[in-house]
Chain A
């Protein structure tokens, strides 16, 4: 009837000003939801207490790491490092890595708490339907909730930034490290917030969605490692390789190939190998792998059997070795000498981030569908208001 006629017909050429206005209106709605959410959160005292505890705990971790590093250096380097060997990095690198790992751990623990009851908590409190009857669209509500949760989580990262900067000041690192790691932490937290908000829009009860979000985080952090470990067993394959001849008698076969030069000779023979590249994507789901792999570290020109790289570097190298598979790591695979040290040309983190963003995006999309009104289907046991 008349409702159809009053609707504006499909415009043949959309007016750019009109489009801009629509975009501004959409973003304005998101901002209004964020303002509402932030006013709600920022006024609870518990939030500030949590932030204070967070700050103190990270300060403690930093101080203990520094003290521990100093103590171990005194023991290890009571004699000077021989010339030609890499000098140890300053304490900055060690503190940075420990603080980074710790901040990521806590961020992964805090983000679900900030996000996983965003929607169904409101539904339980009877305020979600109030938003739904206004001119806000489901997308605006969901993005607003997501942004608010993310901003709150970013506040925790901001509280830990001084310690990462402190690590840089102690030497051995560039400001780029801090920048990249903070950006990656923020992105990881965004992924978790997206998962949390999406699940909270889907699940009926806040407790359930919080538990599910924590389990999802656990699956990403621990489950990805377990799945990779188990998955590797199923990737038994073969690779054509020939015999490696080691130049130095010091390092027999079975020892680290690569650092002392070796040559490949003889016919290519099929050899058993684990095709880890098939399950490397499981490893990529791990937030630690994504963050560690994204942070640049200096390329090692010198052999590293003496030097033990930092934790970040080791995680990154391990992940890239898994991604490269036997083709890139097995000694004399296809008759080629393999570099022992994987160059930073085949990073794993874009794949991992894409998978994580895909998961978060899928959950947000499902949550967005669940927020549509007039609602056709409701989750069992829930009321719309």
Chain B
């Protein structure tokens, strides 16, 4: 089902952005990635979603020009990482899921070193590093050894490190892990700004509600295969689960039965019901009906994000 669902038009390699077509990679007898297709066009944030061990990190490592696929093609801004790795690496920013920092170096030194490794012109390095430190709010800790930084601060440093050479493709493996809520909001803003500047951004994450806000599109992978590619609009249109709580749960249940709607008892702490509604108009109509019927509705809202809905539906499909 994976390949057939993807429209033919999107499978042609784009001039910019990053794409993988029919990519496979195995480690020994383990097929980490099998015939995976992936597309992250420029100017958009693409989410890479899948359960643990689905092959997300392996795919990102191949996109980051670190791993050679056994078969299939990868292009970064139209270039093949295996043939033209220097040109690809100049365009590529990669933030790994493992937090590797040179512990004795300060945040500033790490960024300066990275700038040198990317052979940026020496004159501009200091200004560029200061700019990045401000961007990830590490100015005050800039001259502290990296080992004193907290996990979230190291994560932000890692992001700055990936941005040092102003790449046009940004591959972020779990960038939000370990970030406090404030930093998450900043990350969201930062990624939206970078996408608006025309960069292609790939974000892998488990925090699906987070991705709803950031991503323009999502690629769902499982067991090494691309399961589904959709945009966030498509995800929103496929119907969403709503959770409703009322002061009198029995009355709410009776009314919903009367309206002929299928619902189930919620799993949350407060007594609630949840039901699948196909679109937002239906939700508005239902709320009006409930209120006019005199049901004391306390809360009425989406039970999950649009991407989470897709994810869960794929999960149940698999079972």
Residues of A participating in the B interface, judged by any CB pair closer than 8 Å: 1-4, 6-7, 25, 28-29, 32, 35-36, 39-41, 43-44, 122, 125-136, 373-376, 378, 380, 384-385
Contact = CB atoms under 8 A, between A and B. Distances in A.
A374 B117 contact: no
Given A40-B103, A373-B65, A374-B65, 7 more contacts: A28-B116, A35-B113, A39-B105, A40-B102, A130-B161, A133-B92, A378-B27
Contact of B117 (A40, A43, A122, A131): A131
A32 B84 contact: no
Interface string B88-113: 01101010111111111100010001
B84 A374 contact: no
A126 B98 contact: yes
B282 interface: no
Given A125-B100, A373-B85, A32 B117 contact: yes
Contacts of B99: 126
A129 B83 CA distance: 19
Nearest to A35: B113
Contacts of A375: 66-68
Given A125-B100, A134-B89, A375-B66, A3 B118 contact: no
A73 B50 CA distance: 81
Contacts of A4: 83
Contact of B85 (A25, A29, A374, A378): A374
Contacts of A39: 102, 104-105, 109
Contacts of B22: none
B78 interface: yes
A1 B78 CA distance: 9
Contacts of A130: 96, 100, 114, 161
A40 B106 CA distance: 10
B145 interface: yes
A373 B109 CA distance: 25
Contacts of A32: 113, 116-117
A384 B61 contact: yes
B100 A129 contact: yes
Nearest to A40: B104
A125 to B, nearest CB: 5
Contacts of B161: 130
Contacts, number: 101
User: B interface, by DSSP: helix, strand, loop or mixed?
Assistant: loop
B125 to A, nearest CB: 11
B81 to A, nearest CB: 6
A134 B96 contact: no
Across chains A and B, which 3 residue pairs bring their CB atoms closest together, nearest first? A126-B100, A134-B117, A374-B68
For A29, A40, A126, A134, the residue with the greatest tally of chain B CB atoms inside 10 Å of its CB is A134
Contacts of B27: 378
Interface in B270-292: none
For A3, A4, A130, A131, the residue with the greatest tally of chain B CB atoms inside 10 Å of its CB is A130
Nearest to B13: A1
Contacts of A384: 61, 66-67
B98 A385 contact: yes
B79 interface: yes
Contacts of A373: 65-68, 85
B265 interface: no
A376 B68 contact: yes
A376 B62 CA distance: 10
Contact of B83 (A3, A125, A380, A385): A3
B224 to A, nearest CB: 16
Given A25-B119, A36-B113, A133 B100 contact: no
30 contacts: A2-B78, A3-B80, A3-B83, A3-B84, A6-B87, A7-B84, A29-B119, A39-B102, A40-B105, A43-B145, A128-B100, A129-B61, A130-B96, A130-B100, A133-B92, A133-B94, A134-B114, A135-B89, A373-B67, A373-B85, A374-B62, A374-B65, A374-B66, A378-B27, A384-B61, A384-B67, A385-B61, A385-B96, A385-B97, A385-B98
B82 interface: yes
A374 B67 contact: yes
B42 interface: no
A125 B61 CA distance: 17
B25 to A, nearest CB: 10
Contacts of A376: 68
A136 B85 CA distance: 11
A373 B96 CA distance: 16
A365 to B, nearest CB: 20
B28 interface: yes
B64 interface: yes
